[in-house]
Amino acid sequence: MDFFEAQARAKRRTTRLVMLFAVAVLGTISAAYLIAVLLTQQVPAYADGTFNPDGLVWWNPPVFGVVALGTLAIVGIASLGKWLSFRAGGSTVAESVGARRIDPGRATPEERRLLNVVEEMSIASGVPMPAVYVLDEEPGINAFAAGLTTSDAVVAVTRGTLEKLNRDELQGVVAHEFSHILNGDMRLNVKLTAIVFGILVLGLMGRAVIWSLRGVRVRSGNSKNSGGIVVGIFVLGLALLIVGYIGYFFGRLIQAAVSRQREFLADASAIQFTRNPGGIGGALKKIGGYALGSRLQSHKTTALGHFFFAQGFKSSFGGLWATHPPLAERIRAIEPTWDGRTHEPPTTVDVARESFQTAGFAPGAVPPRLATERIAFQPATIIGDVGQLTDTYFLQAQTLLATMPDPLRAAARHPAQAPALVCGLLCAADPVLRARQLDLVRQHAGSEVAVTLEKLLPALTGLDPAARLPLLLISIPALRQLKPTDLEALLGALDELVHADNRVSTFEFVLQKLLVHHLKLAQRPDQRTDYVSFHAVADEIAVVLSVLAREGGRDPQAIGTAFATGAAQLKLIEQSLQLQPAETCGFAALDPALERLASASLPIKKRLLVAAAHVIGADGTINVAEAELYRAIAATIDCPLPPIAAPRAT
């Protein structure tokens, strides 16, 4: 399944989910109305000692209106409140369950290994590095991903996952979570949590009302009236409790059913990503053989059970509330010939016995550098790479990580050093211009950033050009931790660096665009779909294709041919697309065009990327600058793309 199909399926699931929960809410309203009818009507209960229901009016529009509006208001406000609390991003979700963010400067060997695995996944998939958290108080083997977009995602693992799994198994678990990130499951998880909480809040209100009566004493002087009031309050609380938990029961059924369907796909995707069934299979077998399994201890995680890698709590109602398929079914889906044996994990995996290269502690042998000249490029295959992870990309990610000097990788992980690193990526090779750029950094970002930058410059000088964007991607979590004033100062310094030589290079535009986009998306994750017609964004598409056609520095005839090749992929608007003049289709025009296209529908985005790939590949080749620009275009419209240039031996 490709990225666009997965995203479209996530949207369809969301629509069905809303419909199912609408049914659950209607059921809740019906139950509340029934109780309200019984409580509010004066029924001639007995006549001649027998019950007479004829006096009961079952349909009472005023009562139904009050009950329906009240229920919808309570459920809606509670769901909206929960949604807004999670809207700040995955970090809010992780911290709400007591997870601790890993400090790279103080990371243990197990935590450094985890950071390395997540970095590989990030580079291989083309998404910004998620923030990484650990649930220190959870000895079971489990993990989850959370967030609303790829720009604000986090990956959290339990202490048991760090201590019990080897690197292959850890990679399988993290790949499973990246599948949820890339397939749009995180956002659906947050919606599930918010809606279920909205239904549950009625029951919580009822329980609070009943609990508030525990210390009430009825005075003898007014016992009849006081007793009636207390009984009335108790009945009201009991009614809310019953109604709320009826709705909650069915809400949890829907939540569990939706969650179970996605786990098999995420397992299969993890195998596709890593080409190693033994990794995720081994993790599941260790869960089965471990006394604590994947069990979660903290009640804070109860509402987020469907976020996790494996079943976190004992399933109620005969498995109807199970958020994950049985372990045996998941293992057999991975290994059809599985003999039923599980593994008892060691007390702690000996990280020191893993090779430095695989554990990510040292670069080891120098890998082949990446191609910087023009390489063969096939547009037909590029769309299949959007939002995908494969073993080829893993090897490429490991190569890229190994080419990065240790000081640069350390700086990318540290909030105090990441600003200097990003500024350094824009520093020129010319000593005179570089000295001027250092002064600009000192003026706009501060002397501390400038001092750190000077220390990083020797390592930046020999950096492989193809490793620049990956470094930027893994620095995003650190940059998100900056104070608003520091971030504003950094963005101002970057703008000065970009314009220091009175021209904007392709890489300068790409870096600035990617950084601003990911940071902005993390702060405001809601993305609307405003344009569903190709004609509504035809002018913007023409700008994108024109910029790409001129990027290769071709002669006028080749530029026209490249543009026409791309336009031919958009039959609906081909005749209205015109090659824009060079003076009006530079980066200044590309920036607002991409912002508008970011609000286009998925079919438009897909065809745009197809057309753009054909423009670049009109001559059958691509270089690093074109690849970086193409990746920036894809990322800006929220279609993550792995590195395009493939490794080569020298």
Residue 495 within any structural domain of the chain = yes
**459 and 399 in contact (C-beta within 8 Å)?**
no
Candidates 473, 353, 276, 290; CA nearest to 113 is 353
Helix or strand or coil: residue 126? coil
Q: Please give the average per-residue pLDDT across 232-237, as a whole number.
A: 69
> Distance between CA 153 and CA 147 in Å, rounded?
4
Q: Look at residue 353 and tell me whether its pLDDT is greater than 70.
A: no
298 in the same domain as 310: yes
Whether residues 543 and 632 fall in one domain: yes
Q: What per-residue confidence (pLDDT) applies to 12? A: 64
The last residue of one of the domains, among 229, 254, 279, is 254
Same domain, 491 and 555: no
The answer to whether position 343 is within a domain reads no
Answer yes or no: is 339 within a domain: no
Residues 96, 164 share a domain: yes
642 confidence band (pLDDT: 50, 70, 90): confident
Residue 344 falls within a domain, yes or no? no
Choose one of 491, 516, 541: the last residue of a domain.
Answer: 516
Radius of gyration of the chain (CA): 29
Residue 439 lies in a domain: yes
> Which one is catalytic: 169, 177, 496, 626?
177
Alpha-carbon gap, residue 258 to 5, rounded angstroms: 18
Q: Which residue, among 483, 505, 469, has the nearest Cα to 643 in the 3D structure? A: 469
pLDDT digits (tens, 9 = 90+) for 415-424: 999 999 999 9
Average pLDDT over every residue of 445-458 = 93
Evaluated on CA atoms 61, 62, 67, 70, the torsion sign reads positive
pLDDT digits (tens, 9 = 90+) for 193-232: 887 788 778 777 777 777 766 655 555 555 555 555 666 6
What was the pLDDT predicted at 250? 74
State the Cα–Cα distance between residues 540 and 612, nearest whole angstrom. 12
Same-domain check for residues 27 and 115: no
Name the strand (E) or helix (H) holding 595: helix 587-597
The pLDDT, as a whole number, for residue 370 is 44
Query: pLDDT averaged over the chain?
Result: 80
573, part of any domain: yes
pLDDT, residue 159, reads: 94
pLDDT at 351: 65
Distance of CA 106 to the CA centre of its chain: 25
- Looking at 233, 254, 275, the residue that finishes a domain is 254
User: Does residue 614 share a domain with residue 587?
Assistant: yes
Residues 97 and 179 in one domain: yes
Beta-bridged to residue 531, according to DSSP, are 600
Residue 102 domain boundaries: 92-186+267-334
Q: Is the pLDDT of residue 363 over 80?
A: no
**Contact yes or no for 165/145 (Cβ under 8 A):** no
What's the structural domain count of the chain?
4
CATH number at 157 reads 3.30.2010.10
For residues 259-270, average pLDDT = 76
Pairing, β 50-51 against β 46-47: antiparallel
- pLDDT band at 44; cut points 50, 70, 90: very low
Q: What pLDDT does 536 receive?
A: 93
- Residue 369 in any domain: the answer is no
The answer to whether 178 touches 125, Cβ cutoff 8 Å, is yes
Amino acid in the structure at residue 428: A
Which region among 136-145, 308-317, 571-580, 620-629 has the lowest average model confidence (pLDDT)?
308-317
Q: Shortest CA distance to 278 belongs to which of 343, 349, 356? A: 343
Q: Is-catalytic flag, 496?
A: no
Coil, strand, or helix at residue 640?
Answer: coil
Would the pTM of this model clear 0.85, i.e. be above it? no
Say whether both 160 and 65 belong to one domain: no
170 and 281 fall within a common domain? yes
Please check the confidence at residue 45 and state whether its pLDDT lies above 70. no
Same domain assignment for residues 113 and 64: no
Ranking 19-28, 144-153, 206-215, 292-301 by mean pLDDT, the lowest is 206-215
* Residues 425 and 456 grouped into a single domain: yes
Residue 48: exposed, middle, or buried by beta-carbon count in 10 A (0-12, 13-18, 19+)?
exposed
pLDDT at 617 over 90: no
pLDDT band at 301 (very low <50, low <70, confident <90, very high): confident
How far is it, in rounded angstroms, from Cα 440 to Cα 458?
A: 19
3-class secondary structure per residue, 276-331:
CHHHHHHHHHHHHHCCCCCCCCCHHHHHHHHHECCCCCCCCHHHCCCCCCCHHHHH
502 pLDDT tier (thresholds 50, 70, 90): confident
Contacts of 469 (CB under 8 A, 6+ apart): 510, 511, 514, 628, 631, 643
| Residue 522 counted as domain residue | no
- Considering the domain architecture, whether residues 222 and 297 belong to the same structural domain is answered as no
pLDDT band at residue 400 using 50, 70 and 90 as cut-offs: confident
b/e per residue 560-573 (b: at least 16 CB within 10 A) = ebbbbbbbebbeeb
- Closest to 205 (Cα-Cα) out of 217, 197, 194, 193: 197
Region 554-583 average pLDDT: 89
Question: Residues 237-253: what's their mean pLDDT?
Answer: 75
Average pLDDT estimate for 398-410? 87
Both tokens assigned to 589: 């025009």
